[in-house]
């Protein structure tokens, strides 16, 4: 039994030695930009990993780009509060809060409320021909089903009346 446990440990040890995790570093350049750097903790390059800046309050995508071969990007700091996402593939995603600009973040609550109200006002019902035709066909089929059902019910009632006499 002791030999089996030792053998299993010897076989599984190399799998843990090769595991790695994605690292995300964000540096303030003090010139209104940040540098986003990505790499794996094994020293392996994270070139091609997807960098995304997303507004915290509204969920709006502020910036999207893949990491170049240098493993770092210089990005202008957004005025709204944001998060930095680094996606290096399945199981390798890192999220960090963004660095505020020198004057601080602007208040986004008022903008979000105005945008929601304007979206509600501008909402229109789809007037596509395909939608209109689909609705008309659905109603025709509904009425045809009801008509056939009534006709068959009347036939059955008459047949039952003639048999009962």
Q: Give per-residue pLDDT as tens, 2-43.
A: 787 777 777 766 655 556 788 888 999 989 899 999 888 777
Top pLDDT among 155 and 132 is at: 155
Instruction: Give residue 41's pLDDT.
Output: 78
Query: CA angle, 47 as apex, 79 and 24 as ends, to 5°?
Result: 50
For 19-121, which CATH class?
mainly beta
Phi, psi angles (nearest 5°) of residue 99: -80, 130
Cα(123)–Cα(127) distance, integer angstroms: 12
Q: Are strands 50-55 and 82-87 parallel, antiparallel or unpaired?
A: antiparallel
Which neighbouring-strand residues pair with 86?
A: 51, 94
* Helix (H) and strand (E) counts in the chain: 3, 7
Instruction: Give residue 157's pLDDT.
Output: 92
Q: Give per-residue pLDDT as tens, 58-81.
A: 888 999 999 898 888 899 999 899
Q: What is the mean pLDDT of the chain?
A: 81
Q: Give per-residue pLDDT as tens, 124-152.
A: 555 677 778 888 899 999 999 999 999 99
Instruction: Give residue 150's pLDDT.
Output: 95
DSSP state, 41?
Answer: T
Instruction: Give residue 144's pLDDT.
Output: 93
> Where do we find the tokens 């190399």?
14
Instruction: Give residue 57's pLDDT.
Output: 87
Top pLDDT among 111 and 129 is at: 129
Which neighbouring-strand residues pair with 33?
A: 76
Sheet with 82-87, side-by-side order of all strands = 61-66, 50-55, 82-87, 93-97
| Domain spans, the chain | 19-121, 128-165
Instruction: Give residue 114's pLDDT.
Output: 52
* 70 CB-near residues (< 8 Å, 6+ apart): 47
Look at residue 95 and give its three-state secondary structure: strand
H/E segment holding residue 26: strand 22-28
Is the Cα torsion angle 125, 128, 129, 134 positive or negative in sign? Answer: negative
Instruction: Give residue 12's pLDDT.
Output: 67
Cα(159)–Cα(65) distance, integer angstroms: 75
Instruction: Give residue 127's pLDDT.
Output: 61
């Amino acid at each position: 039994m002791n030999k089996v446990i030792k053998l299993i440990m010897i076989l599984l040890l190399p799998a843990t030695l090769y595991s790695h995790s994605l690292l995300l570093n964000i540096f303030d350049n003090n010139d209104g930009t940040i540098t986003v750097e990505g790499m794996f903790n094994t020293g392996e390059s994270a070139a091609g990993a997807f960098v995304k800046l997303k507004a915290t309050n509204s969920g709006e995508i502020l910036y999207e780009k893949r990491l170049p071969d240098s493993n770092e990007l210089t990005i202008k700091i957004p005025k709204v509060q944001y998060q930095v996402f680094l996606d290096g593939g399945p199981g390798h995603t890192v999220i960090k809060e963004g660095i505020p600009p020198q004057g601080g973040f602007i208040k986004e609550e008022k903008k979000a409320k105005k945008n929601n109200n304007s979206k509600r006002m501008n909402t229109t019902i789809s007037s596509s021909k395909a939608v209109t035709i689909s609705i008309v066909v659905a109603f025709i089929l509904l009425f045809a089903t009801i008509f056939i059902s009534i006709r068959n019910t009347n036939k059955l009632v008459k047949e039952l009346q003639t048999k009962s006499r």
